[in-house]
């Protein structure tokens, strides 16, 4: 007779069969992003496991962002990992496995690499878009300033053409908004900080136009220098 512990272990082993099966179908080219997965009943028959194990695998893949479950329509491969990254980082932060300094260090490194890659890969349309954003940042409201700042960094990340960098930077941005209460707003509304950030944004733009990676390096360090300073000054106001 199998006890509950053994039964649970067998179920866990069973649902990994579903994950391995989907991976193999992707490798073979039979499943791609947007593809509909076989129905639960079909997966159960193909793999010789219970439908409960199939459902467990589907739930796991949904949480991971690998698939999207649509009520009445089935399950589809999406590869939407951003939400999973945000939740994983949030838990790491709450469990004191990462802190604000580490978040800023990672973001600085990724923003630096994104800008360097964007210098090589940016399109004319993206240059025009960024030029417009940087110009608007000089003469805009505090509320719109936050929106435009996010748009500038997201566009540069997109121009890098590195999906992993894009997803992690977006997750970090969401994490900052979630835990650092009003700090982004304060940084962008402080007159001195706003001037320094605008200078850094202008330098980023020029580095893209002139294909100047030395200027890009200086611009990113200037940008994150003021952010790190504000983080230190407001450490007691940052709440979990």
**pLDDT tens digits in sequence order for the chain, 240 residues long:** 445 544 455 455 677 888 899 889 999 999 888 899 999 899 999 998 988 888 888 888 888 788 888 777 889 988 777 778 888 888 888 888 888 888 889 999 999 999 999 999 999 999 999 999 999 988 877 778 888 988 999 999 999 999 999 999 988 888 887 776 566 667 766 778 888 889 999 999 999 999 999 999 999 999 999 888 877 776 655 544
Of 27, 54, 77, the one marking the end of a domain is 77
Within-domain flag for 162: yes
Both 69 and 111 in one domain: the answer is: no
CATH of the domain at 16: 1.10.10.10
Q: Can you list the positions of beta strands (E) in the chain? A: 67-70, 74-77
Query: What is the Cα–Cα distance from 147 to 158, expressed in whole angstroms?
Result: 16
pLDDT at site 166? 93
Both 206 and 183 in one domain: the answer is: yes
DSSP letter, residue 36:
B
Q: Per-residue pLDDT tens for 56-85?
A: 888 888 887 888 887 778 899 887 777 788
CATH of the domain at 198: 1.20.120.530
Domain of residue 189 covers: 92-237
Both 65 and 134 in one domain: the answer is: no
Of 51, 77, 103, the one marking the end of a domain is 77
239 — phi, psi (to 5°)?
Answer: -115, 160
Both 97 and 207 in one domain: the answer is: yes
Both 109 and 207 in one domain: the answer is: yes
Of 30, 50, 77, the one marking the end of a domain is 77
Both 119 and 21 in one domain: the answer is: no
Please tell me the total count of domains within the chain.
Answer: 2
Within-domain flag for 53: yes
pTM for this one?
A: 0.76
């Amino acid at each position: 007779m199998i006890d509950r512990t053994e039964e649970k272990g067998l179920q866990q082993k069973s649902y990994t069969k579903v994950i391995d099966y989907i991976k193999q179908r992707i490798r073979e080219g039979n499943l791609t992003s947007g593809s509909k997965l076989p129905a639960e009943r079909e997966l159960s028959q193909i793999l010789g496991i219970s439908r409960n194990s199939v459902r467990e695998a589907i739930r796991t893949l949904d949480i991971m962002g690998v698939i999207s479950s649509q009520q009445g329509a089935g399950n589809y491969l999406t590869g939407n990992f951003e939400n999973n990254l945000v939740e994983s980082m949030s838990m790491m932060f709450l469990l004191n496995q990462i802190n604000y300094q580490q978040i800023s260090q990672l973001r600085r490194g990724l923003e630096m690499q994104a800008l360097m890659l964007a210098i090589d890969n940016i399109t004319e349309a993206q240059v025009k878009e960024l030029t417009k954003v940087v110009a608007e940042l000089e003469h805009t409201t505090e509320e719109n300033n936050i929106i435009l700042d996010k748009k500038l960094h997201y566009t540069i990340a997109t121009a890098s053409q590195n999906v992993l960098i894009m997803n992690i930077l977006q997750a970090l941005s969401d994490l900052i908004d979630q835990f650092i209460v009003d700090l982004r707003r304060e940084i962008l509304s402080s007159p001195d900080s706003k001037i320094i950030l605008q200078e850094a944004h202008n330098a980023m733009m020029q580095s893209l136009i002139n294909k100047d990676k030395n200027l890009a390096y200086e611009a990113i360090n200037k940008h994150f220098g003021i952010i790190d300073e504000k983080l230190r000054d407001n450490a007691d106001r940052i709440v979990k």
